[in-house]
Amino acid sequence: MKLRNRIAGRTLAALSLTTMLTLGSTSAFSAVELKLGHFASDTHPCGMAAVQFKNNVEKRTNGEVKIAIFGNNALGNPPEVLEQVIMGAVDMSLSGQDQLAKHLPFYDVISTPFAFKDYATADKVIDGEFKAWATPELLKKNLVHLSDWEWGFRQLTNSKRPIETPADLKGLKIRTPPAFAYQAFVEAAGGNAQTIAFAELVMAMKQGVVDGQENPIGTIYDLKLYETQKYMSILNYTYSSNVNVINKNSWDKLTPEQQKILTEESNASAKFARKLLRDNEAIQLKDLETTKGIIISRPDLGPWKAAMGPAWDKVKARVGADNFKKFMDIVERSSK
């Protein structure tokens, strides 16, 4: 009997140890799920890059890190999603610099009208000195900076007439997002800026609430704004980035190796989004002009730049003279 009891005791101990090891193993290798919220459609380059990001992270971490994508404003308007990331209700977002500027006003320097002459300059600034400047500031808001994706250079469309000079814009109601610098541009050029949330943009165009709007070519094409906007002016008046940030607490749940993979794949998806967006622009412009019947103007930018004094003054007052000078110095160095 004693022998039988000893054997039974050893068996129970072995079973208990096995159970503990099994539970410990399950806990150690349970997947971390990260929610990624963004405002692009599934067919937009950023939407497609988000899928690449998800797939590559999950593959490289052997499923230990999973990403649930909520695109096309599924979690709310862009400013709301960013606030949820800051609070930790959502783990990650692709947020425009205008949304970040509501929490870190200096971010509005990126939207300074006509600051960037081309994509190459924007890349050097955004990926270089500006990133080094912004990363520690974002951390103060509980955000870890992963990479900068792209929304693109912004153009002007309207349903009334060709816009060649700022004088042509006078009296027109132009939709802008709730973004300080974009509104400053429209007002400096003589238009009437009207704030409408991104999720309401298409309906506002269809209902004629406003006369026009401003957005990158890819967004105009993706949202089919050409159905209500007959005229487009290629101005490249400001550059929009899409910043991939993650909540600091969510970041800290990952191992160093997982953090490395997340960063690498975010950067890879950023490059993918930029290339796809830029490659598509020429194709989309041709289709808009030849198939969709859009009248496209390519104005002399001299008069537009000359009209931007009030806009620059507003940006400078908003971000501070020192920050404005710091940014413009970075742009000048990056333009060489």
Q: How far apart are the first and last CA of the chain?
A: 90
Q: Note the pLDDT of residue 25.
A: 37
pLDDT confidence tier of residue 325, bands split at 50, 70 and 90: very high
Chain-centroid distance of CA 285 in Å reads 22
Looking at residue 25, its amino acid is: S
- Kindly state the average pLDDT of the residues 107-132: 97
Checking if the pLDDT of 15 tops 50, the result is no
Residue 29's pLDDT band (cuts 50, 70, 90)? low
- The identity of residue 108, as a single letter, is D
Residue 211 in 3-state DSSP? Answer: coil
Q: How far apart are CA 180 and CA 297, in angstroms?
A: 26
Higher local confidence (pLDDT), 18 or 41: 41
Q: Are 112 and 238 within 8 A, CB to CB? A: yes
pLDDT of residue 336: 85
Under DSSP, the state recorded for 198 is G
Q: What is the mean pLDDT of residues 4-20?
A: 44
Position 24 pLDDT exceeds 60: no
Average pLDDT across the chain, whole number: 92
Amino acid at 153: F
**pLDDT at residue 28 is higher than 50:** no
Q: 286-312: b or e for each residue (b if 16 or more CB lie within 10 Å)?
A: eebeeeeebeebebeeeebeebbeebb
On the question of pLDDT at 221 being above 80, the answer is yes
Within a 13 Å sphere around the CA of 6, how many CA atoms are in the beta-carbon half?
Answer: 3
pLDDT at 17 over 90: no
Backbone angles phi, psi at 98, to 5 degrees: -70, -35
Q: Which amino acid is at 203?
A: M
* Element at 231 (helix H, strand E): strand 231-233
Q: What is the pLDDT of residue 30?
A: 82
- pLDDT tens by residue, 281-314: 999 999 999 999 999 999 999 999 999 999 999 9
Q: What are the structural domains, with CATH classification, of the chain? A: 32-334 (3.40.190.170)
Cα–Cα distance for residue pair 219/277, rounded to 1 Å: 10
Residue 303: CA atoms inside 13 Å, Cβ hemisphere, count?
Answer: 12
Name the amino acid, one letter, at 64: E
Task: Give the rounded percent of residues in the chain with a pLDDT score beyond 70.
Answer: 91
Q: Are 170 and 190 in contact (CB under 8 A)?
A: yes
Residue 1 reports pLDDT greater than 60 = no
Give the model confidence (pLDDT) of 46-104 as tens digits: 999 999 999 999 999 999 999 999 999 999 999 999 999 999 999 999 999 999 999 99
Instruction: Give the dihedral sign, CA 157/161/162/165.
Output: negative
